[in-house]
Each structure stands twice: as structure tokens, then as C-alpha cells.
Structure 1
């Protein structure tokens, strides 16, 4: 069991960030002999340096992760040193979580997240390592987005974080990435669980799925819609390869998984309603299309398929699309049901949320779990 209080070092000794300069300019296995008075302008407390580097209490050898970082250049060194400093003290971990806002940004405020000298030193660290966007006596704003763009930093970060977690009591068993997420460390980086896990695994952040990227980022056509919704039955089977609902999500497998669900879901609905009443990729008249539509003489249901890693992510992505499909036009389409489709089991909180939207706002939003028959 983790005890983060074991992660502790001096927050009042100035200059910890300068370890990055030593690693950049010297053999990492010699930096512990160069901490005080050997290099002009560098005076770093040895205990602090050892804890930041996870170098143990004796000897000059440092973990090999620092040699790998040196081989990749200053940008990698600076980013890894920042991670090392943050995760060497539970107070800094808490401060970053508390100060985080969104999209990798946040603010650390003097006497709120950190007191006095600790604030001064950490704010200076953020600035000197290149992650401060504004630094005053009262607060420092940070932006960590650059960190996530450094090639292969994820693998070095995982190695370093494993050392930090062992210091905190981790026995080395189980999934390290899940351990980090379970302890809320994604919040240190001002990102969400999905993005953090994707970065740790692949070095890339979770981006909007192939279809969401077009929908959310390319909505440039603000003119009146070119046409009206008109139902058309039918479905053209899409490529799925060897993907299944249990495939790990990458940009490619997300698309293939969406195709797989759409193919299978179409089959299931046709078995219930008949081919003439089920259509896929039905044009809205707005330049977009609806994943699946069921339309009979008595009902019209729109389905939006999502492949997010969590149910909440799927609901969050699907609702704005479904609402636009139904209500954007000057003459809204009469829809009896707007249905989110994903592989996740409906949980109580999501069920309550959708029920509230139906009851309070009269929005016919529902969820249907896709089950691969």
C-alpha cells in the first residue's frame, strides 16, 4: 500500500532544478560528485539531489533512466527533472493536483498550494525548466503540454515513477499505470485518466476519435443547412479487420471498432425492425450523418456509436452530436429517441444523469449497451 508521506525532501533548499544542467553537461554518474562548489553557480544539497534522482543513499551511480534522458537531449532532461522533483515530495504532488485546471495547465498560488519559501523555489523550478507561462510573487501559471510532445518521454517517466512508487511502498506487483491513475496522478499533469493512460502506454495523448475530430474541430460551416433530413434505409458493411470489442484503443483500432459495432448493431436492429426500417450513415442535411437510424410509421430513433474508454466519455461525446442532428435545423426533426451506443455497462450515476435530462429538459436521451451476440 502506498504511503505518499514517504516521498519527502527539502522544499526550502534552492537550486534543485540545476541538476538538469549537470546531467546535460556531465556523465550522469558523476553529477553527485559535482553538486557543491565544483561547477560555477551550482550548489545543490546532496540529500535533495539523491532523492530527486532516486539515486539511493550511497555511491555515485544514478539510475540508468538519467543516462537515457541525457542521450535524448535537454528537452527530455528538463521534463524528467521536473517530474522527478514533483514526485519526490508528497506536498508538491498535492499542490499540482490542487492547482491543476484543464488542458495541461494550472496555477500554484503562494500560501494556498505552497507556503513561503517552498512556493518561491517551486515556482522558480517551473520557470527555469521551461513550464511556467507567468510567474509573479503571488502565483505561477504552468502549461505542461510540451512535456507530452517529447518523443519517448513516457517510457522514461514510467521508469522513474516506478522508482518513486517503490519509495512510497509499492511492492512492484500489479499494473503500474493503473496504480498511478488510481492515486490521481493524472491530475498532477492537469489531464484526465484516458489521456494519461494513453500517454503512458503509447507516448501519445488520447485524441478525439476519427469521427469526433471532424465533428468537434471542423465545424466551420456556420451558414444555413444545405438540405433537410431524409431517411434512407440500408448499410454498406465497413472494414473491421481482426478488431473486436476488447481491442486496445488506438486511433486505428478506434475506427475499426466503431465500424465493427456499426456492422453488428445494424444486423441486430434489422433482425428486430426489418431492413427497410434501418439505415446507417443517414444524412442530416447539415453536412453530417447519423450512425444508425430506425424509422417506422410510428417512431424515429437516432443512434450515435461511441468507442471511448469510459461510459462517461462516450456520453460526453455523443450528446452534442445527437442534439445537433435533431435540433439544429430551423425545422427540427421529430425524434422519439436519441440513443448513445457503447460497449460499457450502464452505471447508476449515468442512468440518473440521463433520466434527469429527460425529466427536467424533456430531451429524449437514452443509453444502449452494445453486446456482441
Structure 2
């Protein structure tokens, strides 16, 4: 267990000091004459009184003193105390500096608990909530795999993980981390099964709208595999998502003409939708052709002659397509492109490609060994 250094006092001595401190702030039911470990629950219940003090360094010292005792409690006694303590720190005040104090104290508590302690989940959840309030979520969460590793030994159940992922998504949005927020929402939707997918209907709708609105998100086919999204089949939003996954600009334009009020009601901007659909259409055209004439792009992407070159430059900046323009012959020469959808056929093609690559590497290795052996024999004969 890795712990920071605390003042060298016994539990009884710390309890005595804390009792006196909180009584001075107006707390009752505290015994500052006969302190014991049992008083810790009472101290935790009034822990938020210390925020009245206003001195951040003193508040942090008091809270860390409580933490030093919490981590020494047995699991049976610790659960309620730690849960109450976390609740007191989630909303201490509107002060950002005090919020940062709470963030640091909860971090000490999280790392001070045994890896297998089920309370690590509770503390981590509180950390996420506080970090979201003070826009410091990156200090707590950087990627899903690391989070899973940190919580693996405490074994949170599926319902707990759903609750955590919702809080994490909200905190990321509040911290303007839209890309990470999108990944977390997809992870959340992936926790639902066919039996309970309908419970996440609203979250699936928000996820789709956010993904469509994100100017940097182009590959959307993975959303269609999520059970809560499948529940939406037949709904207009699902139809719109399918257009962005598989169709061309002309299909979107027809949908917009018929369902303009619906798209605008979602908060989506038509011009941004057109931009994204043009790029997706270009990708689809590039999948099946090594050369794309400007004339074809004008027609398929509904661009004027003088808009084509600028548009192609914008596509190349996304790095979704590798190509170069031949202005003289008015065409785009395609080197490679990302696939809008990656289905079974693409996996089979990738398998065939990797198999061929492995076979060629073996041939190169065998050829190199032959050359090395021949050189060794030649040197041996010369010597």
C-alpha cells in the first residue's frame, strides 16, 4: 500500500483533534474527552463543515487526516464511512480551489485503498464527478483500458459500470473532451444486451446525434452493431444514421428535402451534414476507382467546377484518403482510402493480404539464409 505521509498521531489523538476542530465549527454529538475509533463515522458525517474555514491548506490537512483513518478501517466498518465521505466531497462548494482540494484528497483515498477493495469503485466514481466539476477530468481518466485495469480487482458489476460511464461521459463533455466522451458513450451502449437495450434508447439517440454533429467523426458503422441502436430500427434517426454509413450525398439530400424539420429539430446543421456526406461519398467513390475525374466529382458531390480542387484539399487534410490531384488532366489519382464500413468481406480481404504478406516474408527470410550460408561456405573454402 502506497500512502502519503501523515502526521504521526494515534487514531485516538487524531480523533481528539478532529472532534475539537469540528465542534468549533458548530458540530454537535462529538466527544472531545473520550475519543475512540467509533467516533470516525460521526466525524465523517460533518466533514463538509470544514469548507466553511476557507483556508484550502488547512481543509486539505483535515480531510487527509480523515483519509488516514478511513484506510485503516476493516471493510465492514469502512463501506458506510467512505460512501458518506465521498458524498461530502462531491459538492463541497462553488469554489474551484476547494474542488481541487477535494480532487486531491479523493485521489489519496483511492490509491490508499487495497486494490481489491470494493470501495475503490465508489471513490473512483466520486473522483470522476469532482474532476468534471473543476474541468480536470484528464487528471483522473485518460483511456478506457487504463480505467478497467484500475478497477479490475474491485470487480464492479455491469450496473455500476453503466453508472460510472454515464458520469464519465458527462464529466468529459463538461471538460470539452468530445472525442473521449464519444468513445465512453459507445462503451456504455456496448454494455447493454438484447434484453435490456431498450433502457438505453435515449442514450443511443444522443450518441448518434453527437456522432453525426462531430465534424471529425466520419466512420460510423460500428454504431449500427450496438444493441440500443438496433432498438431504433425503423425510426427516422436510425434511417439518417444508415445514410451516413452507407449512402451517397444524393440520398441524404432527398432525405433532407422530405425531413428538413426533423433534422433541424435534432440540432444538426444542414451545411455541416453536407460537408460530411461529401467526404463520405468521395471515400466511397475512391474505394472502387484509382482515378476520379473532376467531372464525376462535380456531379456526385454537387460542386461547381471551381470548388472541386479546394474540396479535394479538404478531404486530404482528414487523412481518410491518400491521393494527389492532376490539375492538367482534371482528375484525382487515388493511392488508398479508409473504408466507410468494414464488414466480413473486408476482414476476409485483410486476412488474405496478411497471409500473402507472411508468405512473402518467409520467402525473403529463406533467400537471405541461403545467401548467408553460401557466403559462409565461400569464406570457409578460402581460409
Same-fold call, TM cutoff 0.5: no
Whichever structure has more helix as a proportion of its residues is 2
Which gives a bigger RCO, structure 1 or 2 (Cα 8 Å, sep 6+)? Answer: 1
| TM-score, scaled to structure 1 | 0.32
| TM-score, scaled to structure 2 | 0.31
